[in-house]
Amino acid sequence: MATSLEDYSGNFGEEASDSSSGKQHEFCRYTNIVHYWLIPAVLFTVMVSFLQKRRTKHAIDFKCPLNQRFGLPLPLKLLSLHSNRWAFAMAFGATANVVVDRIGQETFLCLFNAPSWAKVFVVLVSAMEVALIHYPIFICLTLENKVLGNLMGFIYTLAWFAFQVYKTVDQQNHKDMYEEALAVPVPALLCCTFLVLNFLRGFLKQLTSGCFRDNQGLRDLPHVTAYVKHLLKPGDAVVKKSLFQRLAYEWDPCFHYPARMIIVLVMALNTIYQIAFVQLSLVIKLHEIIRNLTAEANMISALLPDFDMTLIVTSFLTVFITVYHTFQIMVQYRTQIRKLYKGDWTGLPPKLPHSDVAVARSITYIGIQIAFLISGMAVMNVMLFVVVYFVIVLPIKQGLFRTAIRDIIINAAPVVLVLYLLMVITRWFFLQQKLSPTDKKKPLALNNIRALENISYFCLFFYIVEGAMASAMRLLTSFVLGSLSIARIDHPTMSVVSRLDAGYWAWVSVLMVDSTHTNPTVLAFSHILAKSVSTSSPDGVPEGRTEQWRHRARCRWWLGYTLLRNPTLVPLRRGGCDLNILASGELTPVPQSPVTFDSFTNPLL
């Protein structure tokens, strides 16, 4: 057996080195190509920044004729009025496979052999590179000029989609060079397709309508107006819910999920798809290793089919439970946020984080939620495999299942019987009768106290032994249920030390921020208030007199600046200016071009 292990290890090492070198060559080739995507990404970012005008002027605007250009682009609208929710989610879905590949494999295969203390920084820099490459997709979604934004986004996204298709086809043609099964990034390609069609549809729509800017108002948010109208209506009659509404989901026309939660949903499903293929490749690798190591052990070889089948079944169970947890998180978010809209804070801890902590934690929510889903899948898969294989499959295969069940029943039956016997004796001998015939339960008033004290004395010693069994059962139950619910950060692991739970604290923070900035009542009030004081038309086009007021204010500023530089003009203003005085050089001529701050120094600064 030792000789076979040595031979196998040598052969396996040679095969692994050959396959790993081929895999490294392929991954490094595509990683180097991705590096070149930084050039168009930076160019598109600079162009979008040029199209983005800043709201306020800075000192550079008076030195260079920028006209407030080169503003800071906006990649996300997590706190906006639910605009382009699915477009942002699909953009994140298109980046998920690149992030997983880069952090999981390409970083350490292709960049350089970094020391152990610098590996985290290498991963962070690699992640920032991926973020910069996908940055133009997001800023094109938020560009104010929708025609140019959709056109530039369509060009960039189409090029990226073509690159992803070429990479996928080439990898599938050379998949014999890889050790593991290669997953076709179907979700990422579907997200890219959605983005390409979305940019094309937006470009054609804006071009044909003639409206080049996005002026979203309250009329584009029907769920906000529906929520406010529902509050103003009297209480509706109770409607009987269907079976699907009671067990699965109930549609609410007065609520729309914000962009943050849609992004979490899309990225979670995309990540689950990729992790499922990673688990499949691990099953194949593990099967090959065990089959070669146990070629001479007939007993272990006979268990291999059950081993593989158990791994496959538990992997499917893991995927199903994780998807279920993802949708349950969405349902729990809606339930909790609707309670917060009404001012009900009972579902949150009594001591909430401060505003700065809440905003900082809410920024980390999406990343933390995805990380908890990935780690939860890994732990859940291992736990389910151990429980199913060693508790169910292996005892049945060895013929020990009946014996184990019989021993468990025989040992648990006395404990259960004693407990139920105590409840029956207490009900009939130690509790007083009902105070009224209409009462459903007996009061907590005791009879036969001496007998009760004797039973308590003997049960004390009995339940010391039973308590040890109960503590072991509690530990096992906590391990199983805790492993199944790692991804559920909407509940604290332990309510006493909930502040130490970073996932739950991020969940509480995102609820606080979203309930404050997406409250339909506050949005409706702010819209009415802004509309009452606005000087523009409902379509966003300035009224006719607005330009006249701007021209008049500009002329008054030039007049005030001229009189400040030439005080002797003040008495001559009404009667006109004598040309002889102007020719004598006593007065400074009024500049004909618009005045800048270059020649003016504020004496107060």
pLDDT for 327-340, tens place per residue? Answer: 999 999 998 998 89
Predicted confidence (pLDDT) at residue 598 exceeds the cutoff of 80 = no
Cα–Cα dist 342/168, whole Å: 49
The 3-state DSSP composition of the chain as helix, strand, coil percent (nearest 5) reads 70, 0, 25
pLDDT per residue as tens digits for the range 40-78: 999 988 888 888 777 666 666 666 666 667 777 878 777
The predicted structure's pLDDT at residue 155: 92
Predicted confidence (pLDDT) at residue 158 exceeds the cutoff of 90 = yes
Which residue, 216, 251, 266, sits at the end of a domain? 216
The predicted structure's pLDDT at residue 193: 92
Bigger pLDDT: 333 vs 235? 333
The predicted structure's pLDDT at residue 320: 92
Residue with the two structure tokens 């003639």: 210
The predicted structure's pLDDT at residue 305: 64
Residues 6+ apart with CB under 8 A from 89: 259, 262, 263, 265, 266, 267
Give me the DSSP letters along 440-509: SS--S-B--HHHHHHHHHHHHHHHHHHHHHHHHHHHHHHHHHHHHTTT-TTS-S-GGGGGG-HHHHHHHH
Classify residue 409: in a domain, yes or no: yes
Classify residue 175: in a domain, yes or no: yes
Classify residue 313: in a domain, yes or no: no
CA atoms within 13 A on the CB side of 414: 9
Cα–Cα dist 169/182, whole Å: 11
pLDDT per residue as tens digits for the range 424-466: 888 888 888 888 888 888 888 888 888 888 888 888 877 777 7
Token output for 411: 């040992």
pLDDT per residue as tens digits for the range 307-318: 778 888 888 899
pLDDT per residue as tens digits for the range 133-145: 888 998 888 887 8
CA atoms within 13 A on the CB side of 100: 23
Classify residue 330: in a domain, yes or no: no
Lowest mean pLDDT among 489-503, 510-524, 586-600: 586-600
Residue 26's pLDDT band (boundaries 50, 70, 90)?
A: low
The predicted structure's pLDDT at residue 569: 79
Highest mean pLDDT among 97-101, 109-113, 323-327, 429-433: 323-327
Mean of pLDDT over the chain: 76
Classify residue 72: in a domain, yes or no: yes
Residues 6+ apart with CB under 8 A from 268: 322, 326, 369, 370, 373
Predicted confidence (pLDDT) at residue 602 exceeds the cutoff of 80 = no
Residues shown for the chain: 605
Cα–Cα dist 471/474, whole Å: 5
Predicted confidence (pLDDT) at residue 413 exceeds the cutoff of 90 = no
The predicted structure's pLDDT at residue 214: 57
> In angstroms, how far is CA 283 from the centroid of its own chain?
29
Classify residue 258: in a domain, yes or no: no
Predicted confidence (pLDDT) at residue 579 exceeds the cutoff of 80 = no
Instruction: Give me the mean pLDDT over the 379-395 stretch.
Output: 85
Cα–Cα dist 135/276, whole Å: 28
Residue 44, domain extent? 24-216
Token output for 565: 């530089």
Classify residue 268: in a domain, yes or no: no
pLDDT per residue as tens digits for the range 187-205: 889 999 999 999 998 888 8
Predicted confidence (pLDDT) at residue 518 exceeds the cutoff of 80 = yes
Lowest mean pLDDT among 66-80, 87-101, 412-426: 66-80
Which residue, 183, 216, 249, sits at the end of a domain? 216
Cα–Cα dist 153/134, whole Å: 11
Residue 157's pLDDT band (boundaries 50, 70, 90)?
A: very high
Determine contact, residues 267/93, Cβ cutoff 8 Å: yes
Question: Considering the entire predicted model, what is its pTM?
Answer: 0.74
Bigger pLDDT: 9 vs 556? 556
Percent of the chain with pLDDT over 70: 74
Bigger pLDDT: 323 vs 567? 323
Q: Which residues pair with 542 in a beta bridge?
A: 536
Residue 323's pLDDT band (boundaries 50, 70, 90)?
A: very high
Classify residue 357: in a domain, yes or no: no
The predicted structure's pLDDT at residue 244: 66
Instruction: Give me the mean pLDDT over the 237-254 stretch.
Output: 70
Residue with the two structure tokens 């934690």: 361
Predicted confidence (pLDDT) at residue 13 exceeds the cutoff of 80 = no
Predicted confidence (pLDDT) at residue 326 exceeds the cutoff of 80 = yes
Our count of domains for the chain comes to 2
Which residue, 465, 481, 502, sits at the end of a domain? 502
Predicted confidence (pLDDT) at residue 268 exceeds the cutoff of 80 = yes
